[in-house]
């Protein structure tokens, strides 16, 4: 198994190019199921989760030509509608094939994703919404078996909670449904917007893109013809590099980024004492010599993203004073706390709130990654920890960060990927 060895204390400098967004690419790939024509996707991040979803499509019978950041997909040859446990258990986002498979083929079986390191993450809202659209759903043998032999019907869906994946599944299902679907309390993350625009550009009428209310007129079963798509920049990867600059008090530039998508992170970093030069697709960060503590509450877009909570916590461990970090989306997204404390951080956890007391020095140690963003938080802390830090179980990082160590190396970090002996 690989691990990362980082020797802390280096200043960062230079420019880093931000990759395409994993969480935008996954629903876009799933949505290609709504078509039987060729489509080319560009600016895909070169990460394991993308390869896993393409493998799933391939197992369903799709023809795929994938090379790092580009994939040509043709779903005209799909011959199976079963998403097997072996793939879904590797990546929860596989559940995104449920809506499009059911909409196009009138039936499908998708393994239940099960629990996750950051929380329970049920899919009840996806299933209830599909039932409201006329699907019959049965859970048997660990699989969701869904049927809508005469096609899905447009319906009014009111989500009890804002759900990114739930909104995406229902937008895809509604695109081929009979009649109009209204989604109230929809997610409006940039990744959801890219999916809606993709479906709109294929000729489906969608109103309310980027808002909490979407209205979608289905094609009554007619498959779509998508234009080629360039995946939007990864706002979480971008935010992570801004945190790397902040924690090391370094000035770096991010290229190929959308500054409007990371306003919440930029605003918190400004409160901490960082200033920015924002251009259309570039951001340069200028952190002050000492950073101030700040309180954070995670929420849906455009609020402060849960996917940046761990990385900000790493930065806050070295700010002078106390910060409160409240996690409102996932009940267990604090696995990084005890590992950060192993590096010398002073974090106390009570319920869904962490009190972070800044310390003068972090010290290198062996730490273990538990999920994707928790892993990047440990890497950030290691950038300033005195001595040598070994971050283990970095397969979590490989799922969602494109060439993390290569990019950090080019920014001047002393980092090496090694194999456990």
Residues 6+ apart with CB under 8 A from 102: 108, 130, 135, 146, 147, 148, 152, 173
Query: Does residue number 86 form part of the binding site for ligand EPZ (CB under 6 A)?
Result: no
Cα–Cα dist 18/196, whole Å: 23
User: Which residues, numbered 369-388, are part of the site for ligand EPZ (CB under 6 A)?
Assistant: 372-373
Torsion of CA 84, 394, 168, 135, to 10 degrees: 20
From 164, 254, 283, 285, residue interacting with ligand EPZ (rule: CB under 6 A): 164
Cα–Cα dist 314/110, whole Å: 37
Query: Does residue number 400 form part of the binding site for ligand EPZ (CB under 6 A)?
Result: yes
What is the x/- site pattern for ligand EPZ, positions 336-375, by CB under 6 A?
Answer: ------------------------------------xx--
Q: Which stretch binds ligand EPZ (CB under 6 A): 37-45, 115-123, 225-233, 269-277?
A: 115-123
Angle at 25 between CA 153 and CA 416, to 5 degrees: 150
Q: Which stretch binds ligand EPZ (CB under 6 A): 164-172, 208-216, 243-251, 278-286?
A: 164-172
Q: Measured from the CB of residue 326, what is the shortest distance to ligand EPZ in angstroms?
A: 14
Cα–Cα dist 311/236, whole Å: 10
Closest CA to 62 of 37, 86, 43: 37
Query: Does residue number 396 form part of the binding site for ligand EPZ (CB under 6 A)?
Result: no
The single residue listed with the structure tokens 């039936």 is 107
Token representation of residue 88: 């879904």
Cα–Cα dist 157/126, whole Å: 10
Query: Does residue number 123 form part of the binding site for ligand EPZ (CB under 6 A)?
Result: yes
Q: Measured from the CB of residue 155, what is the shortest distance to ligand EPZ in angstroms?
A: 16
Number of helices (H) and strands (E) in the chain: give both, helices first: 14, 24
Token representation of residue 20: 């395409």
DSSP secondary structure code for residue 35 in this structure: B
Query: Does residue number 126 form part of the binding site for ligand EPZ (CB under 6 A)?
Result: yes
User: Which residues, numbered 179-208, are part of the site for ligand EPZ (CB under 6 A)?
Assistant: 191
Token representation of residue 239: 């935010």
Cα–Cα dist 141/35, whole Å: 29
Cα–Cα dist 136/150, whole Å: 11
Residues 6+ apart with CB under 8 A from 128: none
Cα–Cα dist 314/69, whole Å: 30
Query: Does residue number 48 form part of the binding site for ligand EPZ (CB under 6 A)?
Result: no
Q: Measured from the CB of residue 43, what is the shortest distance to ligand EPZ in angstroms?
A: 17
Query: Does residue number 329 form part of the binding site for ligand EPZ (CB under 6 A)?
Result: yes
Query: Does residue number 411 form part of the binding site for ligand EPZ (CB under 6 A)?
Result: no
Query: Does residue number 248 form part of the binding site for ligand EPZ (CB under 6 A)?
Result: no
The single residue listed with the structure tokens 């893109």 is 209
Q: Which stretch binds ligand EPZ (CB under 6 A): 102-110, 159-167, 203-211, 278-286?
A: 159-167
Q: Measured from the CB of residue 296, what is the shortest distance to ligand EPZ in angstroms?
A: 15
Q: Measured from the CB of residue 268, what is the shortest distance to ligand EPZ in angstroms?
A: 16
Q: Give phi and psi for 237, each to the nearest 5.
A: -60, -45
Adjacent-strand bridge partners of 83: 110
Q: Measured from the CB of residue 359, what is the shortest distance to ligand EPZ in angstroms?
A: 26
What is the x/- site pattern for ligand EPZ, positions 254-293, by CB under 6 A?
Answer: ----------------------------------------
The single residue listed with the structure tokens 């919404």 is 129
Query: Does residue number 330 form part of the binding site for ligand EPZ (CB under 6 A)?
Result: yes
Query: Does residue number 405 form part of the binding site for ligand EPZ (CB under 6 A)?
Result: no
Q: Which stretch binds ligand EPZ (CB under 6 A): 51-59, 163-171, 214-222, 357-365?
A: 163-171
From 68, 161, 222, 418, residue interacting with ligand EPZ (rule: CB under 6 A): 161
Binding residues for ligand EPZ, rule: CB under 6 A, are 23, 26, 93, 119-126, 161, 163-166, 191, 306-307, 329-330, 372-373, 400
């Amino acid at each position: 198994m690989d691990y990362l060895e980082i020797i802390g204390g280096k200043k960062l400098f230079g420019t880093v190019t931000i990759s395409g967004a994993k969480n935008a690419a996954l629903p876009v790939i799933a949505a290609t199921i709504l078509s039987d024509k060729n489509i080319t996707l560009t600016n895909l991040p070169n990460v394991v989760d993308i390869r896993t979803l393409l493998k799933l499509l391939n197992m369903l019978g799709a023809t795929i030509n994938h090379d790092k950041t580009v994939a040509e997909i043709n779903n005209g040859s799909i011959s199976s509608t079963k998403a097997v446990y072996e793939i879904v258990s590797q990546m929860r986002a596989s559940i995104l094939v449920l809506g499009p498979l059911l909409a196009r083929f009138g039936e499908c079986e998708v393994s239940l994703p099960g629990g996750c390191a950051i929380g329970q993450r049920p899919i009840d809202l996806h299933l209830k919404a599909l039932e409201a659209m006329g699907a019959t759903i049965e859970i048997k043998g660990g699989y969701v078996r869904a049927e809508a032999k005469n096609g899905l019907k447009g319906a009014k869906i009111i989500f009890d909670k804002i759900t990114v994946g739930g909104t995406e599944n229902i937008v895809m299902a509604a695109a081929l449904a009979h009649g109009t679907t209204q989604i109230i309390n929809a997610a409006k993350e940039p990744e959801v917007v890219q999916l809606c625009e993709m479906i709109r550009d294929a000729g489906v009428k969608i109103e309310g893109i980027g808002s909490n209310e979407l209205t979608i007129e289905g094609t009554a079963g007619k498959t779509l013809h998508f234009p080629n798509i360039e995946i939007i920049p990864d706002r979480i990867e971008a935010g992570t590099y801004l945190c790397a600059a902040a924690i090391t008090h370094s000035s770096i530039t991010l290229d190929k980024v959308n500054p409007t998508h990371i306003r919440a992170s930029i605003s918190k970093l400004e409160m901490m004492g960082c200033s920015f030069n924002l251009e259309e697709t570039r951001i340069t960060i200028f952190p002050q010599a000492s950073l101030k503590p700040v309180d954070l509450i995670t929420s849906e877009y455009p609020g402060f993203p849960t996917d940046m909570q761990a990385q900000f916590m790493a930065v806050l461990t070295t700010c002078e004073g106390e910060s409160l970090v409240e996690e409102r989306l996932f009940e267990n997204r604090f696995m990084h706390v005890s590992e950060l404390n192993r590096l010398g951080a002073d974090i106390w956890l009570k319920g869904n709130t962490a009190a972070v007391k800044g310390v003068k020095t972090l010290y290198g140690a062996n730490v273990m990654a538990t999920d994707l963003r928790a892993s990047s938080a440990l890497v950030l802390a290691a950038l300033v920890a005195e001595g040598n830090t070994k971050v283990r179980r970095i397969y979590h990082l490989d799922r969602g960060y494109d060439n993390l160590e290569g990019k950090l190396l080019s920014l001047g970090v002393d980092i090496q990927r090694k194999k456990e002996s």
